[in-house]
Structure 1
Amino acid sequence: MSQRQRHIAIVTETFPPEINGVANTLGKLCEGLRQRGHRLSVVRPGQRKAVATNDAAQNLAESVVAVPGFPIPGYADLQFGLARPRRLIKAWKKNRPDIVYVATEGPLGLVALNAARKLQIPVCSGFHTNFHSYSRHYGYGFLERMIVSYLRWFHNRTQLTLVPTRRMQNRLNGLGIRPVSVWSRGVDCDRFTPSKRDPALRKSWGVGERDLAVIYVGRLAAEKNLQLAVTAFERLRHIHPRARFILVGDGPMSKKLQERHGDYVFCGMQCGEDLARHYASADLFLFPSKTETFGNVVTEAMASGLAVVAFDDGAASEHVRSEANGIKVPLDDHGAFVDASLRLADQPSLVSHLRSQARLDALDIHWPSLIEQFENIVFNLHYRETRHAPKQSVSIL
């Protein structure tokens, strides 16, 4: 049974129908909180016309404050937002939230944090993206320490920071960020299911019934460590020449990869039922990224009945049990990642076992229970913070 109705303001630089892990998570969060009777308002950058005309975000929030947005360097399809504090203060004085959840730490998140503090509204932050780690892959590695300092300063000005795994909780504690609580991610097992395997799609990839379809789903970008997946596949197809590598996603590395590997199958960005068919129609899922806070694609692959090879980090650290429902390898061992990929290619009986168990385990990763957990965390925080908050008048800047 839901707690009494509350008003939650979510501040984010990305939101559905944009396609990425943060937007997908926030979409599920908003949907779940509204189903439990709460009021949602969202502050985000204005979306590009092609995105904004998509109706996927309808009914996720009662109100949306769209602020000016500018492309993020290296991520032209995403934006950071800019807003004057007085605009948010005015909006929140008129329709005061019980709590503000800041999902991204960019300029918009900072303005929202300052506005909420002036209004004495409790603020909870989310750590959704390892921006400090990304800097190494875009020629800004020299800024990593500065970015870490900013993230520590930012999150320590909020009452609580939420992370998706216990390992990430320990990492943030090690960076001096406190308090930190774990709020994980669910997976939609009705959408992502082995039953959506499509022989016609496999045929379009050039994959026969008994051939091996190796898939990667995610952004085609430097921070995803894609060269390792390429290395693993190239080794694999020396033994299994009919295997095909399927890449689902887009990003700055897309053109270079297509030029170098014209025989790979590049499917571009997929979503909804089409994405589910792509997952279910493959056999092995290679996920070489080492910069994830979670990695929703890992649990989506498990729900789709794929044999997963991933590093012992993010979602894999929480949900993959080596030799039982997938294979995870130590973060610093690239050789083990390649070896695991080759091993699965040569052991169809093991692959069959891992695929079946991955699906069964994914059925236990429920979004409804995680929405209830989020509700309990943030509303307990609201109660604790407001119970002792002194009264204070606020002027609009």
Structure 2
Amino acid sequence: MITLPSPGRRFALVTETYPPQINGVANTLGQLCRGLLARQHQLQLIRPAMGDEQPGSNRQDNLHERRVRGLPIPGYSNLQWGLPAGRALARLWRKERPDAVYLATEGPLGWSALRTARRMGIPVISGFHTNFQQYSDHFHLGLLHEPAMRYLRWFHNQTLTTLVASNTQQRELSRLGLHNLGLLGRGVDCERFHPTHRDCELRAEWGAGKDDLVLLHVGRLSPEKNPDLLVAAWEQLKASSGSPQLHLVIVGDGPAQDDLRKRLPDAIFTGPLTGAPLARAYASADIFVFPSLTETFGNVVTEAMASGLAVCAFDTAAAHQHIQDRYSGSLAPPAHDRVFIENLRWLTADQEGRRSIRLHARHRACQLDWSSVVARFERYLVQAAGRQPALAQAVPSK
């Protein structure tokens, strides 16, 4: 049976981060927005004003951007909390009522959008893009863990569906008491991230010869990303390596950057990269080192795989979903640092194994295109639009 495309709808997407900001949530939201616009839907993109921007509206074809006021997130000067905007949203939605609302973030802006949509009877779905419940340990906020989890459970269980990035996250959130979970997944652009972008001149700038190995790490440099293991793994590799020569390149920035520069004086820090420079950095390396345990997905894992790198990661999120151990990458049980380091040592030592893994990694990544993810996202929104949620009797004030 042929499924005809649904007629264009109006959807509202509420998020506290969006391109050109550099993070997995912004990247995902950018892909989803572009995909929905290509399917002839009308979009209201509601987000905090960034940098020198002022709150206000901007319309371009089927995209209506509504920028609201925000406050910087401590430790992340380039990110903001969106301030509550219930009155502005009510005015907008009375004039241009969306068929469904998608909440990408759970901060004050997302809370006010949830409250407003429920009062107006507009169907709402949400996405769980960041593992806030895991961050409390890294930022010494243990006393706030339970209150934060109660809020997250309340927030997401008020929506018709909560979309998640991976099946491991789906199981974890179900265990924590979130209901009506749906698997969305993530894609990767296998034309942008491609082994042919390998650049010998860039490798030479890194000091890497033809037969040297470049270990690459890409991501936010922050305590919740487990940078201590990156340091420990590199130190142990240097202490035990013979040949080939090893080099470490770190792409990104964040609150742990200064500390990492002191602890890894021989590493190359590029700062944040996007577009062609990022694709060139991936393809010019050999092994991708990813010690994080707090990912909802980890787009950088599939970007590295698409670029033909051998990934060393923990068996969770994107790595769990798309890597077969010792076939298309190497996986360590979560929190087993010794196994992680042993896997990395094996990848540096076994040239034939590494070559095979890189080929299989690229093959697997090429099966993950964004168009299927966008189509799945569209189906969730259309299904929500066909349902009329019960109006909230009482939505707690913040």
Task: Calculate the TM-score normalised by the size of structure 1.
Answer: 0.94
1:340 aligned residue? 343
Gaps in structure 1 of 5+ consecutive residues: 393-397
State the secondary structure of the residue aligned to 2:66: strand
1:327 aligned residue? 330
Query: What does residue range 53-202 of structure 1 map to in structure 2 within 5 Å?
Result: 62-202=63-203
Query: What does residue range 134-283 of structure 1 map to in structure 2 within 5 Å?
Result: 134-238=135-239, 239-240=241-242, 242-283=245-286
State the secondary structure of the residue aligned to 1:124: strand
CA contact (8 A) 2:16 2:81 kept: yes
State which of 288, 299, 304 in structure 1 corresponds to 2:302.
Answer: 299
Q: Partner letter of residue 129 of structure 2?
A: H
CA contact (8 A) 2:195 2:308 kept: yes
Query: What does residue range 359-370 of structure 1 map to in structure 2 within 5 Å?
Result: 359-370=362-373
* Residue deviations 1:6-43 (CA, integer Å, cap 9, x gap): 11100000011111100000000001111111111111
CA contact (8 A) 1:134 1:291 kept: yes
Q: Would the alpha carbon gap of residues 262 and 60 (structure 1) be closer, same or farther in structure 2, given more than 3 Å must change? A: farther
Give the Cα–Cα distance (whole angstroms) in 2 for the partners of residues 256 and 240 of structure 1. Answer: 28
Give the Cα–Cα distance (whole angstroms) in 1 for the partners of residues 345 and 84 of structure 2. Answer: 51
State the secondary structure of the residue aligned to 2:126: strand
TM superposition shift of 1:240:
4.0
CA contact (8 A) 1:220 1:254 kept: yes
Q: Compute the RMSD of aligned alpha carbons.
A: 1.8
Give the Cα–Cα distance (whole angstroms) in 1 for the partners of residues 323 and 62 of structure 2. Answer: 34
Q: Would the alpha carbon gap of residues 58 and 286 (structure 1) be closer, same or farther in structure 2, given more than 3 Å must change? A: farther
Q: Aligned pair count? A: 384
Give the Cα–Cα distance (whole angstroms) in 2 for the partners of residues 200 and 2 of structure 1. Answer: 47
State the secondary structure of the residue aligned to 1:361: helix
Matched, 1:34 2:42: no
Matched, 1:21 2:20: no
CA contact (8 A) 1:301 1:308 kept: yes
Q: Partner letter of residue 318 of structure 1?
A: Q
1:44 aligned residue? 47
Give the Cα–Cα distance (whole angstroms) in 2 for the partners of residues 146 and 240 of structure 1. Answer: 50
Instruction: Identify the range of structure 1 (187-196 vs 259-268) with the bigger mean alpha-carbon deviation.
Output: 259-268
CA contact (8 A) 1:30 1:60 kept: no
* Residue deviations 1:193-221 (CA, integer Å, cap 9, x gap): 00000000000001111001000000011
Q: Would the alpha carbon gap of residues 210 and 260 (structure 1) be closer, same or farther in structure 2, given more than 3 Å must change? A: same
State which of 374, 377, 388 in structure 1 corresponds to 2:377.
Answer: 374
* Residue deviations 1:365-392 (CA, integer Å, cap 9, x gap): 0111111111112211221x13x869x9
TM superposition shift of 1:298:
0.2
Instruction: Identify the range of structure 1 (372-381 vs 16-25) with the bigger mean alpha-carbon deviation.
Output: 372-381
TM superposition shift of 1:61:
6.2
TM superposition shift of 1:236:
1.5
Gaps in structure 2 of 5+ consecutive residues: 394-398
Give the Cα–Cα distance (whole angstroms) in 1 for the partners of residues 46 and 148 of structure 2. Answer: 23
Runs of 4+ in 1 over 4 A off after TM superposition: 57-61
Q: Partner letter of residue 136 of structure 1?
A: D
State the secondary structure of the residue aligned to 1:216: strand
Q: Would the alpha carbon gap of residues 244 and 376 (structure 1) be closer, same or farther in structure 2, given more than 3 Å must change? A: same
* Residue deviations 1:36-61 (CA, integer Å, cap 9, x gap): 11111111111002xx69xxx99696
TM superposition shift of 1:317:
1.0
Give the Cα–Cα distance (whole angstroms) in 2 for the partners of residues 297 and 349 of structure 1. Answer: 24
CA contact (8 A) 1:40 1:60 kept: no
CA contact (8 A) 1:34 1:60 kept: no
Give the Cα–Cα distance (whole angstroms) in 1 for the partners of residues 349 and 302 of structure 2. Answer: 24
